[in-house]
Structure 1
Amino acid sequence: MNRARAAWMVLFALCASQAWAGTPNGATIAQQGNGHGVAPCMACHGGDGGGQGAAGFPRLAGLPQAYLRKQLDDFANGTRVNATMQPVASGLSDAERDALAEYYSKLPIPMSAPSPAPAGDAAQAGQKLATRGNWTASLPGCEQCHGPGGIGVGDHFPPLRGQSAVYLSNQLHAWQQGSRRNDPLQLMQSVAAKLSEADIAAVSAWYAAQPAMPPKEPQP
Structure 2
Amino acid sequence: MRSVIGGALLFVGVSSLPALADDGKGITKPPGRAASCTPCHGLNGEGQPVRGIPRLAGLNADYFERQLASFKNGTRRNRIMLMIASDLSDDESKALASYYAGMMTPKPQTTPADRAVIAAGAELAANGDPSKDLQGCGQCHGAEGLGAGSDFPRLAGQSALYIEKMLRSWKAGDRKNDPGGVMADVANKLSDDQIKSVAAYYESLPIAAPAPTPEASKP
Partner of 1:119: 115
Partner of 2:198: 203
AA paired with 2:39? A
1:52-201 matches, cutoff 5 A: 52-110=48-106, 112-113=108-109, 116-120=112-116, 122-201=117-196
CA deviation string 1:173-212 (max 9, x = no partner): 0110111111111110100000111111111111111112
More deviation, 100-109/179-188:
100-109
Displacement, 1:78? Answer: 0.4
Higher relative contact order (CA 8 A, sep 6+): 2
AA paired with 1:200? I
The one of 5, 10, 28 equivalent to 2:26 is 28
CA gap 1:74/1:65 in 2 versus in 1, 3 angstroms = same
Tell me the percent identity: 44
CA contact (8 A) 2:25 2:96 kept: yes
Length, aligned pairs only: 193
AA paired with 1:70? R
Displacement, 1:213? Answer: 1.9
Displacement, 1:215? Answer: 5.5
CA distance in 1, matches of 2:99, 2:152: 19
AA paired with 1:26? G
Structural RMSD (CA):
2.1
CA deviation string 1:96-136 (max 9, x = no partner): 1111111111222335456514323x233211111110011
What SS does the corresponding residue of 2:119 show, helix, strand or coil? helix
Unaligned runs of 5+ in 2: 1-21
AA paired with 1:123? I
What SS does the corresponding residue of 1:84 show, helix, strand or coil? helix
Unaligned runs of 5+ in 1: 1-23
| TM-score w.r.t. length of structure 1 | 0.81
CA distance in 2, matches of 1:151, 1:50: 16
Q: Which has the larger radius of gyration?
A: 1
CA gap 1:110/1:100 in 2 versus in 1, 3 angstroms = same
CA distance in 1, matches of 2:191, 2:107: 32
